[in-house]
Amino acid sequence: MVVAIAMAIAGPSQQRPCATLLRVSSAPHRPSSSSSWSLPPDWESCIGIETHAQLLSPTKLFSPTRTSSSPFTPPNTLINPFDLSHPGTLPSLVQPPTLAAAIRAALFLNCQVQAESRFDRKHYFYTDLPAGYQITQKWAPFAKGGWIDLPAEEGQDDVRVEIEQVQLEQDTAKSTHSTSIEVSDVSQAHIDLNRSNLGLIEIVSGPQLRSATQAGAYVRKLQELLRRCVASDGNMETGSMRCDVNVSIRPRGSREWGTRCEVKNVNGVRFIQKAVRSEIKRQFELLHASSDGEVRQETRGFDERTGQTFFLRSKEDAPDYRYMPDANLPPLVLGRGKVEEVRKGLPEHPDAQKSRLVGKGWRIPERDVGVLMRVGLEGATLVQEKKEAWAFDRPGVAVEYLEAVLASSSSSVKLPPSLVAKWIVHEVLKALNSLPEQEGQSRSAPAPARLRELLELVEGKEVTTHNARAILGKLVEMENDAGKRKSQESVREMAAAAGFISPASAALSTSPASTTTSSSPDDALHELCTRVIASLPDEAAKVRAGKVKVVQRMVGEVMKMSKGQADAKRAREVLLEMCEQAGQ
């Protein structure tokens, strides 16, 4: 069933108080129209973002009706009389799963969850709001006083963005607009009430953001936090996360706020950045268009095709929402025990995790840590159980895998965490991405113990990096083939069967653990290097003349003769040493 309603009005939006009109007295200024235009250094922008995020919950906010994240759910099938606003229907108390998701989000945003919060009605008429009002928290929000830390832009300091408040509210229905063929002047809205009464949190940031780049970084960080604590999937493409951006500009150093303009419903980080740049430029041009230039408070939209904001309505046209307490809902009272119970189930906060992994004891490069922490973020779902196979399809799984590899062996070989991280980021993920996609199936990494065994062979110089990549590819293939997954063959046995571990390769290894019954570890390598120098006299002469880079060709010949078994680093050292001795 799809409800079609003829509509002739535009939907309202909430307006927050702002400063009076900002005027400047200066000579007319015509900034460049280039897309690379930037605000002059004696001016600054002030940006705040209001974010609506759907909560991951099996039930709606004020009714036990189940939810679905599938885009193929038929419209108007997940509803009950309250969602339809039938006369006489009353809201249920906030459903426990929805409340738990909201608490997780508030705690991950460093907010103070309030012991008591209250619900209010926000009145307006729109086709996707059958009750004529939305239940929200205007006066006594669910959580306050949090923050998000952003890394510094080049040449600047770190930024702490304040989270002024987090409020619980119900989502509206989803409307799809079309023009009637019979009546060309009337548009139609097709209403899907499956989204009506879904749990939302509105996250209101302070105006600490100073550029489009920071605005984009804030939204990406917010997505990461909500996904890591499994509070929301943060998907802007499907509308489960929506942003309104407030932009103003002022002379740098001024204590007065500029006139704020709100850009509504911007979808996507890239579009948020474009909208901010467009609005900053527009306001600056208005202020410098004449000696009495001014910016008026208004609500604007963003055209994704042109990359420009456009006028929707002015302050004078803003609706009166007539906020009033909801008499059908009691205050939401939360004991400290409930909040602490949720806190105990939270994963490690991304900021703390990053500090741990790049800090003393781990010393993993920051770039590799960033990749590990981003793996699986888009897979935030209600069901987050750990599986036997290591499928990289949920938030935090790559870091868990790293820790499992490091903890998977009792051998005396100690693997540096940075080495394991490097292999996961550059080799394991590459091998997984090379597998063909199969609908409904996740691609899994090898068991941690098997990757550990492989890296111990590499670290002990029993297997070269080149050959280890080949073994890893085989391990990944086996892990994702149900018929081969239960193979009991060890990694060492696989390497030996492939000819990667042999008496000859042991002689070529410089590892103290390498053993040979007839010669020292360097004897075979010296013999190969002698043959290479004899076969490449011109290159050897150039090396003796000081052209050290030429030695790499000679190293390549050593690797070719040894079929990839030689230690390339040690081969280079031996070749340089032998060339130097021959020149004396």
Query: For 71-80, how does the pLDDT look when each residue is reduced to its tens digit (9 = 90+)?
Result: 889 999 999 9
- The dihedral region occupied by 88, where left means phi > 0, alpha psi between -120 and 50, and beta the remainder, is left
User: Which pLDDT value is given to residue 343?
Assistant: 97
pLDDT over 50 (residue 277): yes
Confidence of residue 177 (pLDDT cuts 50, 70, 90): confident
Pairing assessment for the beta strands 241-251 and 112-113 based on DSSP bridges:
unpaired
- The dihedral region occupied by 436, where left means phi > 0, alpha psi between -120 and 50, and beta the remainder, is beta
pLDDT over 90 (residue 211): yes
Owner of token pair 């103070």: 112
Q: Mean pLDDT throughout 422-451? A: 89
Q: Is 286 or 489 the better-scoring residue by pLDDT?
A: 286
Amino acid 287 reads L
User: Which pLDDT value is given to residue 61?
Assistant: 96
Q: Mean pLDDT throughout 462-480? A: 91
* Residue burial 104-114, b: 16+ Cβ < 10 Å; e: rest: bbbbbbbbebb
CA dist., res. 500 & res. 563, Å (int):
9
pLDDT over 80 (residue 29): no
Q: Which helix (H) or strand (E) holds 44?
A: strand 43-54
pLDDT over 60 (residue 517): no
Q: Mean pLDDT throughout 459-484? A: 88
User: Which pLDDT value is given to residue 514?
Assistant: 41
CA dist., res. 142 & res. 111, Å (int):
10
Average pLDDT, the chain: 85
| Inter-CA distances, 7 with 11, 189, 199, 214, 246, Å | 10, 7, 26, 38, 28
User: Which pLDDT value is given to residue 561?
Assistant: 85
The DSSP bridge partners found for residue 45 are: 249
What is the three-class DSSP state of 49?
Answer: strand
User: Which pLDDT value is given to residue 182?
Assistant: 58
Distance of alpha carbon 547 from the chain centroid: 47
The DSSP bridge partners found for residue 136 are: 120
User: Which pLDDT value is given to residue 302?
Assistant: 96
CA dist., res. 439 & res. 148, Å (int):
37
CA dist., res. 516 & res. 527, Å (int):
15
- Angle formed by the axes of helices 568-582 and 537-544, nearest 10°: 80
Q: Mean pLDDT throughout 49-61? A: 96
pLDDT over 70 (residue 242): yes
- Provide the sign of the torsion angle of the four alpha carbons 202, 206, 211, 216, taken in this order: negative
pLDDT over 80 (residue 395): yes
User: Which pLDDT value is given to residue 464?
Assistant: 86
Q: Mean pLDDT throughout 421-426? A: 96
Q: Mean pLDDT throughout 190-210? A: 95
> Considering only CA atoms, which of 369, 277, 290 is closest in space to residue 47?
277
pLDDT over 90 (residue 244): yes
Query: Which DSSP string do the residues of 145-205 spell out, in sequence order?
Result: EEEEEEPPPTTS--EEEEEEEEEEEE---EEEEEE-SSSTT-EEEEEETTSTT-EEEEEEE
Q: Is 567 or 324 the better-scoring residue by pLDDT?
A: 324
pLDDT over 50 (residue 247): yes
> Considering only CA atoms, which of 567, 571, 570 is closest in space to residue 554?
571
Confidence of residue 486 (pLDDT cuts 50, 70, 90): low
Confidence of residue 436 (pLDDT cuts 50, 70, 90): confident
The shares of helix, strand and coil residues in the chain, as percent rounded to the nearest 5, are 35, 20, 45
Confidence of residue 183 (pLDDT cuts 50, 70, 90): low
In degrees and rounded to multiples of 5, residue 313 shows phi and psi of: -165, 160
Joined tokens for residue 110: 């460093």
User: Which pLDDT value is given to residue 408?
Assistant: 84
Q: Is 458 or 27 the better-scoring residue by pLDDT?
A: 458
pLDDT over 50 (residue 430): yes
Has this prediction a pTM greater than 0.85?
no
Q: Which residues contact 100 (CB under 8 A, 6 or more apart)?
A: 57, 342
Q: Is 224 or 21 the better-scoring residue by pLDDT?
A: 224
Confidence of residue 6 (pLDDT cuts 50, 70, 90): very low
CA dist., res. 58 & res. 66, Å (int):
5
Amino acid 78 reads L
CA dist., res. 582 & res. 403, Å (int):
49
Q: Where are the beta strands (DSSP E) in 359-492?
A: 390-391, 444-445
Q: Which residues contact 260 (CB under 8 A, 6 or more apart)?
A: 16, 18, 19, 46, 246, 247, 248, 297
CA dist., res. 449 & res. 232, Å (int):
33
Query: Which DSSP string do the residues of 221-271 spell out, in sequence order?
Result: HHHHHHHHTTS----TTTTSEEEEEEEEEEETT-SS----EEEEEE-SHHH
Q: Mean pLDDT throughout 39-50? A: 96
In degrees and rounded to multiples of 5, residue 158 shows phi and psi of: -60, 155
What is the three-class DSSP state of 391?
Answer: strand
The DSSP bridge partners found for residue 175 are: 191
User: Which pLDDT value is given to residue 503?
Assistant: 41
Confidence of residue 31 (pLDDT cuts 50, 70, 90): very low
Q: Mean pLDDT throughout 480-500? A: 81
User: Which pLDDT value is given to residue 519?
Assistant: 45
pLDDT over 80 (residue 179): no
pLDDT over 90 (residue 25): no
User: Which pLDDT value is given to residue 512?
Assistant: 43
User: Which pLDDT value is given to residue 292?
Assistant: 77
The DSSP bridge partners found for residue 143 are: 113, 166
User: Which pLDDT value is given to residue 525?
Assistant: 83
pLDDT over 90 (residue 298): yes
Asked if residue 217 lies in contact with residue 140, where contact means CB atoms within 8 angstroms, the answer is no
Asked if residue 269 lies in contact with residue 224, where contact means CB atoms within 8 angstroms, the answer is no
What is the three-class DSSP state of 206?
Answer: coil
pLDDT over 70 (residue 213): yes
> Considering only CA atoms, which of 350, 363, 353 is closest in space to residue 422?
363
Pairing assessment for the beta strands 298-303 and 261-266 based on DSSP bridges:
parallel
What's the pLDDT tens digit per position in 332-377? 999 989 999 999 999 999 999 999 999 988 999 999 999 999 998 8
% of the chain beyond a pLDDT of 90: 59
User: Which pLDDT value is given to residue 17?
Assistant: 39
User: Which pLDDT value is given to residue 437?
Assistant: 78
> Considering only CA atoms, which of 567, 566, 538, 570 is closest in space to residue 553?
538
Asked if residue 441 lies in contact with residue 388, where contact means CB atoms within 8 angstroms, the answer is no
pLDDT over 90 (residue 523): no
pLDDT over 80 (residue 123): yes
